[in-house]
A and B are shown apart, each in its own frame.
Chain A
Amino acid sequence: MTRPTTFLLLGLLIAVPLSLLAGRVWLDPFAEPVPNALIILTELRLPRAVLAIVLGAGLGAAGAAMQGYLRNPLADPGLFGIAPGAALGAVLSFWTGLAGTPWVLPLFALLGAGGAMALLGLVAGRTGSALLFTLAGMIIASLAGALMSLAISLSPTPFAMSEIVTWLMGAMTDRSWREVWFAAPLTLLGIALLLRAGRALDALTLGEMAARSLGVDPRRLQWLMIGGVGLTVGAGVAAAGIIGFVGLIVPHLLRGFTDGRPSQLILPSALAGALLLLVADCLCRVLPLQSELRLGIALSLLGAPFFLALLLRMRRDLA
């Protein structure tokens, strides 16, 4: 096990129990037991912590793989248009008024993610070129964005509109074991696909031609990326809405601790993504605000300045 992996595992081991205690109601193990402590712990805090770990791991791994695939430290899993596709699916479930029925929202979101993945494969799948792939992703993202705005502007009731807008901000509030049960297997499968792409991503460090000469099949790699990013990001959006920047920040922070090969970054990024989302969700919970800060907003507030700092540093390096 590499050093960052060990440290991150240790971090998670410490953060998980702490996260179970933190919230509106603090559970102090050394004080008088709080009423309903067991229910708070097993039905509210634990599923929420597990979900944060699962989704964070998926986003971190997807970000590391995306940066390796596009050979760009500024790449983010959102670039492929899969997150907006999933969000569009979820928005349609609100729009049709079916979101209240159990399983409908995540199902719609997964269908949206699947649709975006299929479209990506159709548009760019034949050539295996990363540039075409990114452009196809951007087209899908803007199309899904436009359709979402259309759905919001045509929403049948003001209530549906406010639900859509709130949901899009991304949060772990009130998530239960149900979200964990569908998101965890999909995310784990997605991470497994991304790990399988590791060797090809390493070869891609040398450019597309050299990668081909090292035995990389660009189309197979593309399908692994569509599958891996689609499952991790699709499951994440279906369970918690859009949570950005994890996939951008985490691999970037960890790259210096690895030997630079993309394959070595996927697993540590999964662990660090899990840790980041777990801690961020805890902070959202304990901040003394009138209503709980949405996780998606919190991470964007954290991520945007980080992105800017990264860009400024790159500009300085280029100058």
Chain B
Amino acid sequence: MSLAGCNLHLAQRLHGVSLQLSQGEVTAICGPNGAGKSSLLSALAGIVPLDQGEVRLDQDLMGRLPLDDRARRVGFLPQQAELAWDLSVETLAGLGRLPWSLGPEAHRQAIDRAIADMQLEPLRRRPLSRLSGGERARAMLARVLAGEPCWLLADEPLANLDLAHQLALLAHFRKLAGQGLGVVLVLHDLAQAMNHADRVVVLKDGQVLADGPPDQALDEAVIEQVWGVKARWLGDAGGKALVI
């Protein structure tokens, strides 16, 4: 099972990006502001029209997949957690079931599972406006998980979260990858990418500058080349810290 982008070009943002991702891995996409991280994620999710190139989900061309089919397989969590109406956690999670047309029982089970996974059980009837930032972020993720996707593409899911919630969410992404999901995250914090991803893709000016295991892709030389910052990694694998 794979998600592959080949020679992706997108309106001044991506210039010939190619990569192949596999399920069961946590892949982090890193890069400075304007490097094209969000564009790459939306291109992989199949929700923006490409100028050139193609995205394949397993063997299928993403652009040719029926919209519902694509939506069932690829879950996408946008950077801005928008919510136009004040829904309850349960109703929000239910939106993740929109691409599915199964009986109410299957929907209920998937929603229950997603809510339980995100430890939102006691809050399931509470409107989002009455949740804390961390609870909101978990509820938004529960919406994606309720859709039972094979791929989870999340754009800066850790932004606006405190440290404890960031770590809890990262642990959860790891668990999902362990269950066989393909997890792709746009991350700003290089230490988190280093310690929690199986693979890191570094973008600069819409091109892939490094791609591989974290300790290679986020090598000190790469960091200097991409971010223009002289930095050193301290600590052991799994607990490294970036010192500037």
Residues in A lying within 8 Å of B, measured CB to CB: 68, 71-72, 199, 202-207, 209-210, 212-217, 255, 259-262
In the complex, are the beta carbons of B67 and A199 less than 8 A apart?
A: no
How far apart sit A212 and B70, CA to CA, in the bound complex (Å)?
A: 10
In the complex, are the beta carbons of B95 and A214 less than 8 A apart?
A: yes
Residues of A with C-beta under 8 A to B74: 213
Residues of A with C-beta under 8 A to B99: 214-215
Contact pattern, B 109-136, Cβ under 8 Å of A = 1, otherwise 0: 0000000000000000001000000000
Per DSSP, are chain A's interface residues mostly helix, strand or loop, or mixed? loop
How far apart sit A213 and B72, CA to CA, in the bound complex (Å)?
A: 9
In the complex, are the beta carbons of B78 and A209 less than 8 A apart?
A: yes
In the complex, are the beta carbons of A206 and B83 less than 8 A apart?
A: yes
Instruction: Count contacts between A and B, CB distance < 8 Å.
Output: 71
Residues of A with C-beta under 8 A to B42: 209
In the complex, are the beta carbons of A212 and B47 less than 8 A apart?
A: yes
In the complex, are the beta carbons of A260 and B87 less than 8 A apart?
A: yes
How far apart sit A103 and B78, CA to CA, in the bound complex (Å)?
A: 51
How far apart sit A305 and B42, CA to CA, in the bound complex (Å)?
A: 44
Between A and B, 21 residue pairs with Cβ closer than 8 Å are A72-B84, A203-B98, A205-B87, A206-B82, A207-B82, A209-B76, A209-B78, A210-B78, A213-B47, A213-B74, A213-B75, A214-B99, A215-B71, A215-B98, A215-B99, A259-B87, A260-B85, A260-B86, A261-B85, A261-B95, A262-B85
| A212 and chain B: residue at smallest CB distance | B47
Min distance, Cβ A196 to any Cβ of chain B, angstroms: 14
Residues of A with C-beta under 8 A to B45: 213
In the complex, are the beta carbons of A214 and B87 less than 8 A apart?
A: no
How far apart sit A210 and B72, CA to CA, in the bound complex (Å)?
A: 13
- Leading 5 A-B pairs by shortest Cβ distance: A215-B71, A213-B76, A207-B82, A71-B84, A215-B67
